[in-house]
Chains A and B, each alone.
Chain A
Amino acid sequence: MAAISISESEFEKFREFFYRKTGIQFESSKRYFVDKRLEERIELTHSGNFRAYFTKLRFEASGAELQQLTNLMTVNETYFFREEYQFQCLVKSLLPEITGRKRDNTPIRIWAIPSSSGEEAYSIAIYLLEFWAGINDWDIEIISSDIDTKILALARHGQYSVRSVQHLPEKLLRKYFTRQAENYQICDDLREAVEFTRVNLSERIDTRAYRNFDIIFCRNLLIYFDDASRKAAAETFYDAMKPGAYICLGHSESMSRFSSLYKVRKFPEAIVYQKPLLEAR
């Protein structure tokens, strides 16, 4: 079989389609990166050429191929303090706003989904303890969920590779972890501070019990969903949030492709989505 190659206008055509679907926009300088991955999928799906593959991509009812390709086009690993600017936003902007308007002293609730192996939820906990004075006045609940029970077991266990903790300042690493051979073990205080639960975000029965959150982190999950599931997820979150609650997405993700339920809020550190404080009659 002749080598598959992608022409200039095929690249353009794909770029526009992918941008419309996912909001991810590739500069022309990314041409090689994109071509490589397209060629790989064309080959693996036995499509023969770009045209046939593109048709599959557009018209496949399940959207499965689009998801496959999206996986390839995005980097997916998780580590401590990933996208730290959002945690800064949490302590500098979101929590002060919440405590400023809160009329009772019930706990402030945070939901981080998907948890993967737990780095994100633990990062939130560390951030609150280290960088938020309000921790002395308020109770905070952190619940973190994932569909994958094996990964949840790892999260609860809390042992991490050097790579996973590499962005943590040395001081915090020493304070909250102990070295165990090749790895770092997170301390029991933190393990007890986060509740890990199994949830399939796309399953109504699973999410029904999740209510009254003040802040949701949903990073690097929706990007793998098809349109209908993203829309459903946006609705699920809406019901899980208090009025005025906030939702933070991953840096390459945007609500703009699948929901108009939320207000876009700009804070000095990040852009965040907010459920309206007052619902229309």
Chain B
Amino acid sequence: MALIKTQTHQPIAHDERKQARDCNSLLLELENDNPMARRWAARDLADCPAASAALVSRLQLEDDVSVREVILTTLTVMGNEVAVVGLVNCLRSEKVALRNEAIEAMKQLPDEVAPIMRGLLADADPDVRIFAVNILESLRHPEVESWLISVIDHDPELNVCATAVDLLGEVGSSASREPLLRLKARYTQVPYIQFATDLALKRISDG
């Protein structure tokens, strides 16, 4: 026994993609018992735009994180309306992991998410509004600062504002100064807001 070179020269084991690769059989594969098969199906479904609805519903049930990750990647590649709506619905899920995975996927879709951002930031559920601010963190979009300003000026929920302030310390310009001061004045009794607005203001004036 010893150090050996690959006998085959092709370290290929076998190709897991047994099924013919048409959209219908891929959809069936998505329900396969073997996570590896589901993963490959989810990956190859990127070429079947009509499959986004099926991917979205699989996502909600899927327990294997490796399969969920692939589904999310495929949905981000598709980036169509069904995919985006599906991701938004995940924000309302009871499963924390799924919610956070959806947030990360949506960060990759500035053009598709931007048009619905106002709606998300006005959602009745404060948790969804916090998630929307989380999405803004890495969303490469010119309106991010103005969205955040409108959050801290208007959102009734303290924690939504707090999340927005955290981000304004990073992306804020002088345009954020007055709104931050207003927020600070609104919550004089809340030490965290005093701390966070001061920090953001300092960073903005130094930057």
Interface set of A (CB-CB < 8 Å, partner B): 7-10, 12-13, 16-17, 50-51, 54, 58-61, 107, 109, 125, 128-129, 135-143, 192-195, 208-212, 228, 231-232, 235, 238-239, 259-261, 279-281
Contacts and interface: CB of A to CB of B under 8 A. Distances in A.
Interface in B98-146: 108, 140
A238 B203 contact: no
B65 A261 contact: yes
A51 B108 contact: no
B11 interface: yes
A51 B204 CA distance: 10
Contacts of A281: 33, 35, 63-64
Contact of A212 (B3, B13, B33, B69): B13
Contacts of B12: 208-209, 211
Contacts of A238: 66
Contacts, number: 100
Contacts of B6: 141, 143, 195
A178 B151 CA distance: 69
Contacts of B73: 231-232, 235
> Size range of the interface on B?
20 to 34
A141 B4 contact: yes
22 contacts: A7-B207, A9-B207, A10-B207, A13-B169, A13-B203, A60-B140, A61-B140, A109-B11, A125-B3, A128-B3, A129-B3, A135-B1, A137-B1, A139-B1, A140-B3, A211-B11, A211-B14, A228-B108, A232-B73, A259-B69, A260-B65, A261-B69
A82 B54 CA distance: 47
B178 interface: no
Contact of B2 (A139, A212, A231, A260): A139
B170 A9 contact: no
B33 A50 contact: no
A275 B4 CA distance: 25
A280 B64 contact: yes
Interface in B151-169: 169
A235 B72 CA distance: 12
Contacts of A137: 1
Given A54-B207, A261-B66, 17 more contacts: A10-B206, A50-B207, A58-B170, A59-B140, A60-B140, A135-B3, A136-B1, A139-B3, A141-B4, A141-B6, A195-B6, A208-B12, A235-B70, A238-B66, A259-B69, A261-B65, A280-B64
B39 A239 contact: yes
Contacts of B182: none
B171 interface: yes
A219 B34 CA distance: 30
Contacts of B33: 281
Chain A CB within 10 Å, residue with most, of B14, B66, B70, B73: B66
